[in-house]
Structure formats: structure tokens, C-alpha cells
Amino acid sequence: MLERNEIANFSLYKKQVTIFAPTNEAFQKNQKPIDNDNLVLYHMINLAKTVTELSSQYNYVTSELDGNPPLWITLRRGTYHDDHYINNARILQNQSNYKARNAANTEDQVLHKIDEVLVPVFSPKSSADRLFNPNAWDFIAKFESFNFKTYRIRTFRQRINQTNKAEIFKNEGGHTFFIPIDDGFKDSKPESVDGKVIDGHVIPKRVLFTEPTMKDYMFETLAESDNIRVFISFSQDTESKSKTIYIKSHTRVSEGNITKGVVIAAIKEANIPVKNGVIHLIHKPLMIVDHSVKQFLEAVQVLERHLIVGDVALTMEKIKAMANDTSISYGKEIYTNKKETELETVRDSLKIAVEERINSFFGTQSHFVMVFRETMSVKQKEGAGRAEKRTEELVNNVREIISNAPRTSVRTLSQQVGVSIGTCHTILKKDLPVIKKSRKSTIPEE
């Protein structure tokens, strides 16, 4: 590939260069369309720099591709060693820093191996106004001319224009942009994406590719003022084969139609390099908090990846596997205090919550527990509702709760066993009269 490119060969003969060479495995795992001629030049810069020199002296270097699009440099500090990245590709340090001289023996040249193919963004040869180094707004405005046929971003683009926010996507420097695709607006009104929400889709002065970025770290967005504060964090689903990356918006201070809470969006197309940073296409808008339980139930793929017991995230598969265990341990090295919770069974005592924590959802938490007990899933059964039949299992559950915690209120009891307050009163009065009589003064209504 390199040998067939005339411009690359001329540079190797005459110039000072550094080449970032993807491994064979990197080419095998690459799923993005590539243009061989342009690809070679995108992996070359006209400086001869070692890995350390790159990370210590530059935030980016310009490639030899037409338009000289930048290659963004990230240094990720580690306990035992540091990792160096070019865009989203890690430099393999034990296979890098190979030095040589050019054919004329006048210039230094350096070779680094990387674990991922660097794919530039440029419009096809058929385009009348071809772009090789678009900024974020160029990419959004002319999205259809680039090679991302699977998705559309017209709705978000329209909202940017209607709120006069195009300038923030033109800002020079290095920034991170999150662009929701059109499919993500099915459950959200486009009008809910106002100027402040658009600000919350931009992390300024940080170019964050998914691989080198610290997970669960809060990054400030442009939505930052006395009246509104929004942060964004990256998280990864390490259980599934896909290793899906999620973006979370954390609205800490809000005003007007902006609601406090956490919104989770999956990245659909990650690490799109542009002149002023990097773009990630996400499956829905950030900051638009879902208030409908129905919407939570329909978003099963997100829900099942963000279930928690105590303070620890668990997948649905883990919960199913341990559903009949007599105890669960949720202590990990990263936690200060290790804890072990003794339960009759996890299924009977499981408390499920979702990281998209909003007030309107907390009231339905016990309902999720009930549905899970019956179906081993958080999906709503057709026609399912609050079970009011006083079964033997239900009565025994109430008996054990009251025996172990006599001061449990009827309301709390109702939430724990998943039936109405009225049904709990009936059980205490008719099915457990001895317990009710002996502890009458210890069971408050609220």
C-alpha cells in the first residue's frame, strides 16, 4: 500500500517523516470503508518524532493527507506504564520508535506500530465540493455527503440552526461533540432540544476518543453557568461481546424546562475525527430526561445494562444466575467498606433501581421488583398490574418481614412485597392476627 503511493514514496525519499503503521490485526478488525491512497497519507506526518516527543510536545500533529487533517494525541497515565494514542489507536511501544534515515541520508525518519487503522473523514470523489478536513459544523451541515449512510442527523441539525448554535461547532481548537441520530427523537419532541441542551452536547477543550478516555469521569460541558450545570461521562458495558460505550449526561443544576437527572445514550458511531476535535454519533439526545415509566420499560437494552444492587452495577444475566442464591456479596476492591448482605433469597429481597434516577421513577421501584420476581425480567407483562391475591407465599413474606423488623410501616411493607397498602392491611388483620395483635403498636401507617 505504501509502495504504490507516489506521494508517500517521494516523502520517504526526500523528507523527514513519522509513519504510524497499523498491524495486520488492526486491518482485519477494521469495519470502516477505506480509500487506500488517502489512508497511507493519513498515517504520515512530516516530522520525525519518538513516542515520548509526540506526547510531551504536541496535542495534535498534521497528517500528509490533502487538507492536512490533524491526528490527535492522547497520553493516558497508568500505574505501571503510560499509554500513548493517535486518535483512538494505541501506539504499541514495544514495536515503535524504529529510527532510520531517508534514501538520500539527509533526514531522520521514525516508525510506530498502532493497534487500530486511522480512518480519515472526507467526502467522496463524486462530491462537487469535496472536503478533506471538515470541522464539526462542516460534518453536520454536509453529513449526507460523507460515508455514514446508516444514520441521519437532520433533526439535530435543524435544532442547531433554529437555535443559532452553529458557531459552537465551528470553534477552533479541540473539542468533543455528541450528535444524536434521528431515530433517537421518536420519544422526544425536537422542541425540547433548545440552545442549552445543545450546549450540553459539547465538551470544550477536550478531545475525547473512546479508548483512551477515563471511564466514569465527569467532564464539564458548555452547559455551564450559575443556573445550569451539566457534566458528561463515558461508561462501558464490559459484559457483552459488543463492549458498547455509553455516554451519560448528568444535569446537576437546572432551570426552566431542563430537569435534573442522568440520561444514558449508546454510541452508535464513535471516534469520527474532525478539524476541531472528535464527533460521536449517539442513539438519542442527552439531557432530555424520560418521565414515562413506559419509556423506561421499552428501553430494555439500556435498563438491563444498568441494574444495580446496593451500589454495584449488575447485568440481567448476573441477576438471573444468582436469583436463588442465599446471599450476595457486593464488596469490591474499589469500595472502601466491603459488605455482605444476607438474604432469604435474592429474588425475594432484590431491590432494583436504574441509573437514570428521577423522582417520578422511584415510586415504581417496587413494581419492577414484583415484575422481576414473576418473570425474571424487567419487561412489563401484558396486562400485568399490582398482584392483589393473598397467596400463601405472599402471607409468608409479610410474616417474615414483620417478624424480623416489627417497626416496618404498612407503606414500606407494601413496597417490599409488591401489593397495595389495603392488601397489606387485610393480611395483617385476617391472615396474621396474632402478629398484628402482639405488635399493633409497632406498625405505623406511614
Average per-residue pLDDT for the chain: 76
Q: What is the mean pLDDT of residues 390-418?
A: 77
Query: Is 380 a residue whose pLDDT tops 50?
Result: no
For 429-434, the CB contacts below 8 A with 24+ separation are 431/390, 431/395, 431/398, 432/395, 432/398, 432/399, 432/402
CA angle 200, 203, 205 (to 5 degrees): 150
What is the structure's pLDDT at 211? 94
Q: How far apart are CA 285 and CA 202, in angstroms?
A: 12
* Choice between 237 and 223, residue whose per-residue pLDDT is larger: 223
Query: Is 4 a residue whose pLDDT tops 50?
Result: yes
**How much of the chain exceeds pLDDT 90, in percent?**
39
Query: Is 65 a residue whose pLDDT tops 80?
Result: yes
pLDDT tens for 31-52 read: 877 777 788 899 999 999 999 9
Q: How far apart are CA 300 and CA 377, in angstroms?
A: 9
Q: Which amino acid is at 259?
A: T
What is the structure's pLDDT at 241? 66
Diameter over CA atoms, the chain:
100
Q: How far apart are CA 101 and CA 108, in angstroms?
A: 5
Q: What is the mean pLDDT of residues 85-110?
A: 92
- Indicate the range of 37-46, 69-78, 423-432 predicted with least confidence: 423-432
- Collect all residues with Cβ–Cβ distance below 8 Å to 263 and sequence separation of at least 6: 248, 249, 251, 284, 285, 286, 287, 288, 289, 290, 356
- Neighbouring CB atoms inside 10 A of 127's CB total 12
The partner residues of 248 in beta bridges, in order of sequence, read 233, 264
Tell me, yes or no, if the two domains 6-114 and 136-288 fold the same way.
yes
- Collect all residues with Cβ–Cβ distance below 8 Å to 393 and sequence separation of at least 6: none
pLDDT tens for 131-154 read: 889 999 999 999 988 877 789 999
Q: Which amino acid is at 54?
A: L
- What Rg value do the Cα atoms of the chain yield, rounded? 28
pTM equals 0.66
**How much of the chain exceeds pLDDT 70, in percent?**
70
Q: Which fold has domain 6-114?
A: FAS1 domain (2.30.180)
- Indicate the range of 288-292, 333-337, 394-398 predicted with least confidence: 333-337
Query: Is 372 a residue whose pLDDT tops 70?
Result: no
What is the structure's pLDDT at 318? 56
- Cell (9 digits) for 375: 418473570
Query: Is 334 a residue whose pLDDT tops 60?
Result: no
Q: How far apart are CA 418 and CA 204, in angstroms?
A: 46
Q: How far apart are CA 258 and CA 284, in angstroms?
A: 16
- Answer for the pair 50, 19: CB distance below 8 angstroms, yes or no: no
Q: How confident is the model at residue 175 (pLDDT cuts 50, 70, 90)?
A: very high
Q: What is the mean pLDDT of residues 195-220?
A: 94
pLDDT tens for 414-427 read: 767 777 788 888 88
Q: Where are the domains of the chain?
A: 6-114, 136-288, 290-385, 386-446
- CA 304 from chain centre, in angstroms, equals 14
Provide the 8-state DSSP code for 250: E
Q: How far apart are CA 268 and CA 296, in angstroms?
A: 20
Q: How confident is the model at residue 161 (pLDDT cuts 50, 70, 90)?
A: very high
pLDDT tens for 111-133 read: 999 999 999 988 776 666 778 89
CATH of 136-288, one of 3.40.50.300, 3.40.190.10, 3.90.110.10, 2.30.180.10: 2.30.180.10
- Cell (9 digits) for 82: 503510560
Q: How confident is the model at residue 277 (pLDDT cuts 50, 70, 90)?
A: very high
Q: What is the dihedral of CA 32, 37, 43, 45, to 10 degrees?
A: -150
- Neighbouring CB atoms inside 10 A of 323's CB total 15
What is the structure's pLDDT at 363? 37
Q: How confident is the model at residue 441 (pLDDT cuts 50, 70, 90)?
A: very low
What is the structure's pLDDT at 338? 34
What is the structure's pLDDT at 319? 53
C-alpha distance from residue 266 to each of 91, 269, 301 (Å)? 26, 9, 10
- Answer for the pair 363, 393: CB distance below 8 angstroms, yes or no: no
